[in-house]
Amino acid sequence: MSEQIGNLTFGIIKPDAVRAGKTGAIIQRITDGGFRIRAMKLIRMTREEAEGFYAVHRERPFFAGLVEFMSSAPCVVLALERDGAVKAWRDLMGATDPAKADAGTIRKEFAASIGENAVHGSDSEENARIEIAYFFSQLELVNSE
Ligand code: ATP
Ligand code: MG
C-alpha cells in the first residue's frame, strides 16, 4: 500500500454543473491540475446532509437557498491529493462569485452565479479532513500505487 504523497483536500462538483453535463470537463481540469483522485462518488444529498455540511453558514441569509440547491439534484464528491492541495484546488476553482473569478478558473468557465457556482473546495487542511470524513469512509480512500 502506498504512502500519501501530497496533502488532501475535499471537492464537490455541485448540482448546477452536474445537471449541465460538465462533470467530465471538470474532472479533466482536476487531473490536468496535477491532482490524484483518491475517492469519488455521485450522491444526492438529503436536506439534512446539506444542512450538516454547511452548518458554519447557518446564520447567513443565503443558508436556506444554499441547502435547497445542494439537495436539489445529484453532485459528485471528491477526495483530492496534491502538494498544497487546499490552495491549489481553491486557485483552480476561482473566486466564489464567478463574475470575480480569474480567466481560466472552473468557476469563470462553468458557474452562472454566486449561489450556483459549480464547485466547492475546503478552505483549510483541518476542514478538508472533516469534510472528507463526512462523505467517505477510510475504506473508500483509494491508494493507486
Ligand atoms: P465553497 O465553500 O462552496 O467552496 P466558498 O468557500 O468560495 O465556496 P463560502 O463563503 O464558503 O464560499 O460560501 C459557501 C457557498 O455559499 C458558496 O460557494 C455559494 O454557493 C454560497 N454563497 C456564498 N455567498 C453567497 C451569497 N452572497 N449569495 C448566495 N450564495 C452564496
Ligand atoms: Mg467555503
Closest CA to 11 of 112, 115, 88: 88
d(CA 4, CA 47): 33
CATH of the domain at 119: 3.30.70.141
Give per-10-residue mean pLDDT for the chain (145 aa).
78 98 98 98 98 97 98 98 98 98 98 98 97 97 84
- What pLDDT is stored for residue 2 in this prediction? 54
Domain that holds residue 29: 5-140
Residue 87 makes CB contacts below 8 A (sequence gap 6+) with none
3-state secondary structure the chain: CCCCCCEEEEEEECHHHHHCCCHHHHHHHHHHCCCEEEEEEEECCCHHHHHHHCHHHCCCCCHHHHHHHHCCCCEEEEEEEECCHHHHHHHHHCCCCHHHCCCCCHHHHHCCCCCCCCEEECCCHHHHHHHHHHHCCHHHCCCCC
Would you say residue 100 lies in a domain?
yes
Q: Give yes or no: 120 in active site.
A: yes
- What pLDDT is stored for residue 41 in this prediction? 98
Would you say residue 33 lies in a domain?
yes
The residue annotated as part of the active site, out of 119, 120, 121, 135, is 120
| Å from CA of 74 to ligand 2 middle | 19
pTM, whole model, 2 decimals?
Answer: 0.96
Using the structure block, give the residue that is written with the C-alpha cell 477526495.
Answer: 79
d(CA 58, CA 113): 20
Would you say residue 145 lies in a domain?
no
Grid coordinates belonging to 125: 487542511
For ligand 1, say whether the CB of 115 is within 6 Å of any of its atoms.
yes
**Number of domains within the chain:** 1
